């Protein structure tokens, strides 16, 4: 049955309130307006940023909403003026847009895009500042411009990457967030050189992708730091060469790393979202040149601090969003790299469930053995 131009009623997981279990609801998804694309989501993974917003600690968190931002699907219909994708195209929604026209996109200095960010930060679409989701007439907010915990979603055309139709959507959904973030933090943000000593704080999906990226960049030592020793075995497969569990030391962890590395590491990455660890990650860097990249997302109200002397003496503090990748241009390239077996994806998937089991999937995220759980939306 043709659905183009019609309201679609489908299943979606709705976060009615912070921290309350998600509820599978029948949701009405309006047709895409000018510059918008309606996507049938086939597979979505869960990222810790979904859990963060759901927890109520995200200053941009609005309820009720449909979370989810690491997914893959097929274009169902497009609004007026959309030229770069058409129904049937295989796509990955991109929470970091790329319009190629705004001041950010044209700067050549950042992957951030300003075209739709003001709307996606308040859960609506740009053209009329309204949501395309509703339940019996009550609007439900979008999330990160993606809302992939729904069988159908509407995204801006600048927020969707067309990918190879050969790519398995149940795998490449991961290329919507965590894996590119880690790889890009190393390749684009830090620009790690061969022979570097690297420290990775937090060995979840993002930290393991940092390790994978550092190995590909030719790092000589990749030190993985995690308070869960169970992470260490699996981390070896992603390139981690040595492990440190801060719980096993009395000294501050930055001192432990400095002592292990003759003065500090060349590059460090914080992949947890803990502001004390962010400080340790900066302070374990080598005097004169060590660079620390903040990847983890810290809760509303949290602030970072260090002695300015740390920066005066040459350490550099940076951050990264989506690993600095330009989404629409580079996600298809990452998909091709996966298809050519140049980057891992399958190895990060530890669990597969259905949309109806989404609350169990969130519970799994807090267990050490879970990296990414992929949900099938139409099973």
Active site residue 49: yes
The phi and psi torsions of 174 (rounded to 5 degrees) equal: -65, -20
Q: Is 131 in the site for ligand NAD (CB under 6 A)?
A: no
Q: From the candidates 44, 49, 146, 189, which is the catalytic residue?
A: 49
Q: Determine which one of 177, 271, 284, 373 is catalytic.
A: 177
Per DSSP, the three-state class of 184 is helix
Q: Which of 94, 190, 211, 272 touches ligand NAD (CB under 6 A)?
A: 272
Query: Would residue 70 show up in a list of annotated catalytic residues for this protein?
Result: yes
Interface with Zn ion, residue 49, by CB under 5 A:
yes
Burial class (CB in 10 A: 0-12, 13-18, 19+), 303: exposed
Nearer to ligand NAD, 87 or 319 (CB): 319
Question: What's the gap between Cα 363 and its chain centre?
Answer: 19
CA distance 107 to 306: 30
64 prior amide bond cis, ω within 30: yes
If binding is defined by CB under 5 A, does position 112 make contact with Zn ion?
Answer: no
Instruction: Kindly tell me which of 108 and 301 has the beta carbon lying closer to ligand AHE.
Output: 301
Q: Which long-range contacts (CB under 8 A, 24 or more apart) does 131-139 make?
A: 132/29, 132/30, 132/32, 132/33, 132/36, 132/38, 133/12, 133/27, 133/28, 133/29, 133/30, 133/66, 134/27, 134/28, 134/30, 135/14, 135/25, 135/26, 135/27, 135/28, 136/28, 138/64
CB of 221 to ligand NAD, least distance (A): 18
Q: Which of 96/196 has CB closer to Zn ion?
A: 96
Is 271 a known active-site residue? Answer: no
The yes or no reply on residue 224 touching ligand NAD (CB under 6 A) is: no
Residue numbers 20-49 binding ligand NAD by CB under 6 A: 47-49
Residue 88 CB-half CA count within 13 A = 1
Active site residue 241: no
Closest distance between ligand NAD and the C-beta of residue 45, in Å? 10
372 given a catalytic annotation: yes
Q: DSSP letter for 158, please.
A: G
Interaction residues for ligand AHE, span 169-188 (CB under 6 A): 177
Q: Which is nearer to ligand NAD, 75 or 271 (CB)?
A: 271
Choose among ligand NAD, Zn ion, ligand AHE, none what residue 170 binds, the Cβ cut-off being 5 to 8 Å by kind.
none
**Contact predicate 4/77, CB 8 Å:** yes
**Residues paired with 270 in a beta bridge:** 201, 294
Q: Is 284 a known active-site residue?
A: no
Strand partners, 294: 270, 319
Q: To the nearest whole angstrom, how small is the minimum distance from the Cβ of residue 149 to ligand AHE?
A: 14
* Closest separation in Å from C-beta 158 to Zn ion: 7
Residues that bind ligand NAD (CB under 6 A): 47-49, 52, 177-178, 181, 201-207, 225-228, 231, 246, 271-274, 277, 295-297, 320-322
Q: Which residues are catalytic?
A: 47-49, 69-70, 99, 102, 105, 113, 117, 177, 372
């Amino acid at each position: 049955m043709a659905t183009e131009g019609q309201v679609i009623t489908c299943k979606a997981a709705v976060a009615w309130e912070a921290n309350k279990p998600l509820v599978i609801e029948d949701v009405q998804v309006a047709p895409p307006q000018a510059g918008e694309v309606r996507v049938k989501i086939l597979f979505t993974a869960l990222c810790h940023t979904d859990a963060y917003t759901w927890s109520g600690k995200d200053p941009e968190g609005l309820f009720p909403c449909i979370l989810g931002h690491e997914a893959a699907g097929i274009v169902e219909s497009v609004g007026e003026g959309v030229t770069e994708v058409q129904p049937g195209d295989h796509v990955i929604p991109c929470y970091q847009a790329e319009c190629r026209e705004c001041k950010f996109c044209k700067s050549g200095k950042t992957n951030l895009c300003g075209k739709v960010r003001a709307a996606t930060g308040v859960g609506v679409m740009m053209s009329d500042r309204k949501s395309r989701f509703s339940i019996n007439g009550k609007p439900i907010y979008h999330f990160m411009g993606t809302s992939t915990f729904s069988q159908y979603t509407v995204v801006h055309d600048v927020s969707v990457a067309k990918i190879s139709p050969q790519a398995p959507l149940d795998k490449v959904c991961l290329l919507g967030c965590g894996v590119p973030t880690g790889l890009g933090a190393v390749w684009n943000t830090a620009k790690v050189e061969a022979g570097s000593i690297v420290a990775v704080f937090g060995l979840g999906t993002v930290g393991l992708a940092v390790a994978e990226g550092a190995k590909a960049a030719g790092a000589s030592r990749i030190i993985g730091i995690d308070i869960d020793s169970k992470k260490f075995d699996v981390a070896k497969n992603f390139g981690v060469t040595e492990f440190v569990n801060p719980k096993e030391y009395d000294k501050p962890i930055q001192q432990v790393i400095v002592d292990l590395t003759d003065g500090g590491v060349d590059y460090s990455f914080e992949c947890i979202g803990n502001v004390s660890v962010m400080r340790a990650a900066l302070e374990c860097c080598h005097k004169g040149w060590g660079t620390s990249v903040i990847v983890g997302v810290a809760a509303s109200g949290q602030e970072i601090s260090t002695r300015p002397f740390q920066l005066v003496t040459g350490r550099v503090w940076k951050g990264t969003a989506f690993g600095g990748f330009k989404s629409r241009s580079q996600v298809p390239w990452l998909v091709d790299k996966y298809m050519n077996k140049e980057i891992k994806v399958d190895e990060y998937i530890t669990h597969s469930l259905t949309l109806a089991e989404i609350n169990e999937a969130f519970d799994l995220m807090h267990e050490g053995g879970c990296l990414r759980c992929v949900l099938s939306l139409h099973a």
